Amino acid sequence: MYYCTLVCSFIALAMILALANSFLGNARDPDILKDFLIPTGLDPSNITSQFFTYTGFRELVNVNTTGKTAAIETKASMKEFPALEGQAVSIAALTYPPSGINPPHVHPRAAELLIVLQGVLEVGFVDSTNKLFKQTLQVPDMFIFPKGLVHFQVNTRSDSPAYALGMFGSANAGTVSLPNTVFASGISAEILAKAFKTDLETISKLIAANNITKAA
């Protein structure tokens, strides 16, 4: 309930901030020559307020973190919310289990503003000179992860979940997860062993541990 109230009160602020982010920052989503884009197959006369409404976050009250170690991300990008196409904004709700992490990852097409809704998060990103910028955030602090840089979040509390919203200056920011990209993409163990200066056995363990098919 607490989460829902917070989401409701922050959502307007969140969208304004995401908009500001896309206007002031280096927005790269293409400009459109219409008020909004209508997905192919949908009759323009059938576009109503419903098309501009996203209700998927209602499901957040049912997110179950029991037994999970990684954050659960509920996205509202243009795939889930087609009205966002051409508007250069999107948002994701993050639910962190106790001590849960959002593993190091990159959004190739947008900067991300993260706002903490409940709990205490340790966050960080690494710039292109390999310098780490770390911070501990409490409600309702915000942090910006610059576009395309590796970043992560950790729930610092072991006895309670944490919640945050990530806001993007793209309708389709994309996510490249480092563990998956490196160990679950089919890059050969030989290449990885050389790249990480280790042996095949260690790499095989990492590949097995990061098997997305198995985890699903």
The binding site for oxalate consists of: 102, 107, 112
Whole-number minimum distance, CB 215 to ligand NAG, in Å? 9
Please name which of 105, 93, 111 lies closest in space to residue 176, comparing C-alpha atoms: 105
User: Measured between alpha carbons, how far is 144 from 163 in angstroms, rounded to an integer?
Assistant: 16
x-or-dash string of contact with ligand NAG, 27-66, rule CB under 6 A: ---------------xx--x-----------------x-x
Extract the annotated binding site for Mn(2+).
105, 107, 112, 151
CB of 50 or CB of 66, closer to ligand NAG: 66
Note whether 69 binds ligand NAG by CB under 6 A: no
CB of 198 or CB of 211, closer to ligand NAG: 211
Residue environment code for 148-187, b if the CB has 16+ CB neighbours within 10 A, otherwise e: eebbbbbbbeeeebbbbbbbbbbbbbebebeebebbbeee
Classify strands 142-145 and 90-96 as parallel, antiparallel or unpaired: unpaired
Q: Which of 160, 188, 202, 211 binds ligand NAG (CB under 6 A)?
A: 211
User: Measured between alpha carbons, how far is 85 from 37 in angstroms, rounded to an integer?
Assistant: 6
CB of 68 or CB of 124, closer to ligand NAG: 68
x-or-dash string of contact with ligand NAG, 165-204, rule CB under 6 A: ----------------------------------------
Q: Which of 1, 31, 49, 67 binds ligand NAG (CB under 6 A)?
A: 67
- Region at 45 (left for phi over 0; alpha for psi -120 to 50; beta for the rest): alpha
CB of 47 or CB of 120, closer to ligand NAG: 47
CB 139 within 8 Å of CB 71: no
Size of the site for ligand NAG (CB under 6 A): 11
User: Measured between alpha carbons, how far is 85 from 181 in angstroms, rounded to an integer?
Assistant: 26
Whole-number minimum distance, CB 172 to ligand NAG, in Å? 23
Q: What share of the chain is helix, strand, coil (3-state, %, to 5)?
A: 30, 25, 40
Whole-number minimum distance, CB 31 to ligand NAG, in Å? 27
CA angle 198, 204, 205 (to 5 degrees): 95
Binding residues for ligand NAG (CB under 6 A): 42-43, 46, 64, 66-67, 207-208, 211, 213-214
